[in-house]
Amino acid sequence: MKAFNQKLAMWMNPTPSKEAGINNIQIPGQVEHLIWQTRYKEPSSYEQDMVQQLIQAFSTGVTELDQLVNQLNQQGFRQESGESWTVEQFSEEMQRLGY
């Protein structure tokens, strides 16, 4: 099983493709079903750690963004740069990661 959608990675290129549609014709009954259709790359270890930290934070009952950010900081989970989180930085990171 592929861990990400290789075609999606190519489509994220900001310049129009000169080969649009090539190798994209779907034949009924022969379509490759991708589990990770919306991933253009495999998640990094930082992204995977973030998921675990978010699960842990939400399991404490936080429901508001400022509470979530405080919980992540209390858990010791930092930004990739090593800085503590602020609400603004967390929101920007979620936007960057596409969540």
Q: What is the rounded distance in angstroms from the CA atom of residue 32 to the CA atom of residue 40?
A: 16
Name residues whose C-beta falls within 8 Å of residue 40's C-beta, 6 or more positions apart in sequence: 4, 5, 8, 9, 11, 12
Q: For residue 62, give the DSSP letter.
A: -
Q: How far apart are CA 37 and CA 40, in angstroms?
A: 8
Radius of gyration of the chain (CA): 18
Tally of CB atoms within 10 A around 59: 9
pLDDT tens per residue, the chain (99 residues)? 677 777 666 666 666 656 656 566 666 777 676 676 667 778 899 999 999 999 999 999 999 999 999 999 999 999 999 999 999 999 999 998 885
